[in-house]
């Protein structure tokens, strides 16, 4: 019986079948694409090509510090527009060689590249091989979404063809090189050059330009910060392509690859200045509007000092971390603000320990009890009414009636009593009872008036407890008040922005520093001398080593809930606050001297290497005399005993006589306002 056997297939790879498949696929693709293009071009919805000619993307506004160094940027996309003429030819050629070698020959679409891509897609069995020209990439970025669909691809082809008819090749490259994303948040070659090399694109070498051009295909995969080996391999590919297409000879390409690359370290200053920069951004957005801020390439000249800001951030964050570790708790917060007393310019501001976790700016927005840091205001008020540094005040028990059935009995932190002591000692040792008696004597309204003159605008309770800092204030207010003392009684108006210019260099606003003679220069100087004693012999003595010229005051509230230190020099006043956002005790013995003062001292120890360390100038109405602070009596002529202290003219005590205008201590009388 005969059998019909199937013919035997010839051995070997079926090239003919493959050719037929590829040919058929290509034919159907071409026909389908052609039909789709015709129909889409006739009936599809397209954005106007003219908008590309009026290219106006979101741009980067730059923030400068007080020394005119760039310290921050405001952007939706980090982009700095640069004219095509400013981009070196070797940078342009690097992108063309790597992304679209036929760019200057095709009309927007490279059909040879498309055919090559189709073949590779068929062989791989997936839609993976790209064939987009620089023109196609440009229209996709400007007008289309990144989705991978046939309809989107056809629109891309049509738009590429249309834009080539409207714009020159150079104009298309201008759009492409300013629009393309190149990693690390950088859009366009200028932003990329600044990001990776801290220089403008016009300064880039062949090697650097090739590295940046290599990022166009996959910015994350070829990131030189994360994957330097992959970035270098991609750079080599770009240089080889530049050689192959005739932009670079082979030896030059090899030399460029061997050239040493020095990447700029990523800047972390923005995180250290986040609260300051965000305050500036919010102000600009509120005043000029969102669209103007992101489209006008503003140049914002601020008061921030880059070095002082870094010092402040490091001191505060390290200090808070130290306290948390020592006390085995977390969630502690802090704030620090530094001001130039002469102008009111805010030189540094840290509104919290972690901007990413909390954008609440405690330096400007948190009203917390200042504790004894408020006492210098009370003493300044007393000096304004005729008291001297050696006027006597009684540090002994006192009580006041809150009501018919309730008494208020203030006490000293150490629960001891020193009896009659001079104002100089009372403030230096932060004696509560002496301060309450002093406030009771001069009147609560006198102290509140002094606080208002010094720039404190927060509500202040009209009672004697304000002597101990019971009314909440912000760090900005406290620094402004102390800056008034440092500036000889001239209250500065705090400001953050010196000048704002638009993209054309037109000045939109400029701040002229303003000061008001808020208190007498002599009163301010005497208050400074009181606060110098705090650092020499009082609660701030641990910072004595820094300089004999510095002045400041500690502040601790009930149950060690808030810790403050505010003080500084004629050129710089800094305030530190530490506490929990929801008030809670910092722990036993966690006073301002052990919590806030070390942070302030850490900062000022570094700052004094940068700002002048000089004496506070004495005004014309001040004279100096040697006195015995314990008795308030002037020393006899020629005596070396006692201390040389400043006095207002006409208030120097007589030899052997009392100083100033001593008043007998009173119990529960006067302004008993509780």
| pLDDT recorded at residue 147 | 65
Residue 58 pLDDT grade (very low, low, confident, very high; cuts 50, 70, 90): confident
Mean pLDDT over 552-563 rounds to: 96
Residue 187 pLDDT grade (very low, low, confident, very high; cuts 50, 70, 90): very high
Residue with tokens 């406030």: 439
Residue 655 pLDDT grade (very low, low, confident, very high; cuts 50, 70, 90): confident
User: Which residues does 552 contact at the CB level (< 8 Å), separation at least 6?
Assistant: 482, 531, 534, 535, 540, 543, 565, 566, 567, 568, 600
Tokens representing residue 646 in the block: 């400043």
The 10s digit of each residue's pLDDT in 631-641 is 889 988 888 88
User: Which residues does 392 contact at the CB level (< 8 Å), separation at least 6?
Assistant: 420, 421, 422, 632, 658, 659, 662
User: Which residues does 23 contact at the CB level (< 8 Å), separation at least 6?
Assistant: none
Residue 28 pLDDT grade (very low, low, confident, very high; cuts 50, 70, 90): low
Residue 663 pLDDT grade (very low, low, confident, very high; cuts 50, 70, 90): very low
| pLDDT recorded at residue 152 | 58
| pLDDT recorded at residue 146 | 64
Tokens representing residue 186 in the block: 């950088």
Q: Is the pLDDT of residue 659 over 50?
A: no
| pLDDT recorded at residue 646 | 98
Cα-Cα-Cα-Cα dihedral sign, residues 578, 583, 588, 593: positive
- Percentage of the chain with pLDDT > 90? 69
Q: Is the pLDDT of residue 403 over 90?
A: no
Strand partners, 73: 62
| pLDDT recorded at residue 657 | 44
- Per-residue 3-state assignment (H helix, E strand, C coil) for 48-101: CCHHHHCCCCCCCEEEECCCCCEEEEECCCEECCCCHHHCCHHHHHHHHHHHCC
Q: Is the pLDDT of residue 660 over 50?
A: no
371 or 39, higher pLDDT:
371
Active-site residue list? 99, 372
Mean pLDDT over 288-302 rounds to: 91
Residue 310 pLDDT grade (very low, low, confident, very high; cuts 50, 70, 90): very high
Cα-Cα-Cα-Cα dihedral sign, residues 467, 451, 535, 664: negative
| pLDDT recorded at residue 375 | 98
| pLDDT recorded at residue 431 | 96
| pLDDT recorded at residue 269 | 75
Q: Is the pLDDT of residue 165 over 80?
A: yes
| pLDDT recorded at residue 625 | 95
- For 558, other C-beta atoms within 10 Å of its C-beta total 13
Mean pLDDT over 482-509 rounds to: 96
The 10s digit of each residue's pLDDT in 413-455 is 889 999 999 999 999 999 999 999 999 999 999 999 999 999 9
Residue 1 pLDDT grade (very low, low, confident, very high; cuts 50, 70, 90): very low
| pLDDT recorded at residue 25 | 55
Q: Where are the beta strands (DSSP E) in 270-311?
A: 299-302
| pLDDT recorded at residue 521 | 98
| pLDDT recorded at residue 668 | 37
* Pairing, β 392-395 against β 622-628: unpaired
Q: Is the pLDDT of residue 620 over 60?
A: yes
Residue 24 pLDDT grade (very low, low, confident, very high; cuts 50, 70, 90): low
pLDDT, the chain, mean: 87
Mean pLDDT over 537-554 rounds to: 97
Residue 92 pLDDT grade (very low, low, confident, very high; cuts 50, 70, 90): very high
467 or 112, higher pLDDT:
467
Q: Is the pLDDT of residue 55 over 80?
A: no
Mean pLDDT over 394-400 rounds to: 93
Q: Is the pLDDT of residue 3 over 90?
A: no
Q: Is the pLDDT of residue 664 over 90?
A: no
Mean pLDDT over 216-231 rounds to: 94
Q: Is the pLDDT of residue 673 over 90?
A: no
Mean pLDDT over 248-256 rounds to: 94
Smallest CA-to-CA distance from 310 within 613, 61, 606 is with 606
Query: Distance between terminal CA atoms of the chain?
Result: 125
Q: Three-class SS of residue 574?
A: strand
Q: Is the pLDDT of residue 5 over 50?
A: no
Strand partners, 348: 338
| pLDDT recorded at residue 127 | 46
């Amino acid at each position: 019986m005969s059998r019909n056997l199937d013919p035997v297939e010839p051995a070997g790879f079926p090239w003919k079948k493959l050719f037929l498949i590829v040919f058929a696929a290509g034919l159907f693709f071409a026909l389908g694409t052609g039909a789709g293009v015709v129909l889409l071009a006739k009936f599809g919805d397209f954005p106007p090509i003219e908008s590309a000619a009026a290219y106006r993307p979101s741009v980067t506004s730059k923030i400068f510090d007080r020394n005119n160094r760039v310290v921050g940027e405001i952007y939706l996309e980090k982009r700095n527009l640069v004219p095509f003429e400013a981009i070196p030819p070797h940078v342009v050629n690097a992108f063309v060689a790597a992304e679209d070698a036929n760019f200057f020959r095709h009309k927007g679409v490279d059909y040879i590249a498309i055919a090559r891509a189709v073949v590779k897609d068929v062989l791989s069995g997936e839609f993976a091989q790209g064939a987009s020209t620089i023109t196609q990439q440009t229209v996709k970025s400007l007008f289309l979404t990144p989705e991978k669909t046939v309809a989107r691809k056809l629109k891309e082809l049509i738009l590429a063809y249309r834009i080539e008819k409207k714009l020159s090749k150079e104009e298309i490259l201008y759009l492409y090189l300013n629009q393309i994303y190149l990693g690390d948040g950088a859009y366009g070659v200028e932003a990329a050059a600044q990001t990776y090399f801290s220089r403008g694109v016009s300064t880039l070498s062949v090697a650097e330009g090739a590295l940046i051009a290599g990022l166009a295909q996959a910015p994350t995969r070829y990131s030189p910060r994360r994957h330097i080996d992959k970035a270098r391999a991609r750079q080599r590919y770009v240089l080889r392509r530049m050689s192959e297409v005739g932009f670079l000879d082979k030896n030059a390409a090899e030399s460029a690859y061997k050239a040493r690359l020095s990447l700029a370290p990523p800047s972390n200053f923005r995180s250290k200045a986040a609260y300051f920069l965000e305050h500036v951004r919010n102000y600009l957005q509120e005043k000029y509007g969102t669209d103007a801020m992101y489209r006008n390439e503003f140049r914002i000249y601020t008061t921030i000092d880059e070095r002082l800001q870094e010092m402040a951030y490091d001191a505060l964050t390290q200090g808070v971390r130290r306290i948390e570790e020592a006390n085995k708790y977390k969630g502690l917060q802090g704030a620090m603000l530094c001001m130039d007393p002469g102008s009111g310019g805010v030189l540094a501001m840290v509104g919290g320990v972690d901007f990413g976790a909390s954008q609440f700016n405690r330096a400007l927005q948190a009203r917390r009890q200042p504790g004894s840091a408020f006492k210098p205001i009370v003493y300044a008020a007393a000096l304004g009414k005729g008291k001297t540094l050696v006027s006597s005040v009684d540090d002994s028990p006192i009580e006041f009636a809150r009501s018919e059935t309730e008494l208020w009995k203030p006490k000293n932190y150490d629960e001891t009593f020193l009896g009659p002591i001079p104002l100089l000692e009372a403030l230096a040792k932060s004696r509560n009872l002496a301060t309450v008696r002093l406030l009771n004597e001069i009147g609560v309204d006198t102290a509140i008036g002094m606080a208002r003159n010094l720039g404190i605008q927060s509500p202040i309770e009209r009672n004697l407890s304000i002597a101990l800092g019971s009314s909440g204030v912000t760090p900005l207010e406290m620094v402004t008040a102390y800056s008034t003392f440092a500036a000889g009684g001239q209250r500065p108006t705090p400001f953050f922005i010196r000048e704002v210019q638009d993209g054309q260099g037109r000045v939109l606003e400029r701040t002229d520093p303003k000061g008001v003679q808020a208190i007498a220069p002599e009163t301010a100087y005497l208050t400074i001398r009181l606060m110098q004693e705090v650092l020499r012999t009082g609660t701030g003595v641990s910072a004595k080593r820094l300089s004999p010229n510095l002045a400041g005051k500690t502040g601790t509230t009930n149950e060690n809930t808030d810790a403050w230190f505010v003080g500084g020099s004629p050129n710089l006043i800094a305030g530190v606050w530490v506490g929990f956002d929801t008030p809670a005790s910092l722990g036993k013995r966690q006073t301002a001297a052990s919590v806030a003062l070390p942070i302030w001292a850490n900062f000022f120890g570094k700052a004094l290497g940068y700002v002048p360390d000089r004496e506070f100038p004495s005004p014309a109405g001040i004279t100096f005399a040697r006195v015995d602070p314990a008795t308030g009596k002037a020393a006899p002529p020629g005596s070396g005993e006692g201390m040389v202290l400043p006095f207002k003219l006409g208030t120097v005590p007589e030899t052997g006589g009392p100083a100033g205008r001593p008043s007998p201590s009173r119990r529960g009388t006067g302004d008993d306002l509780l």
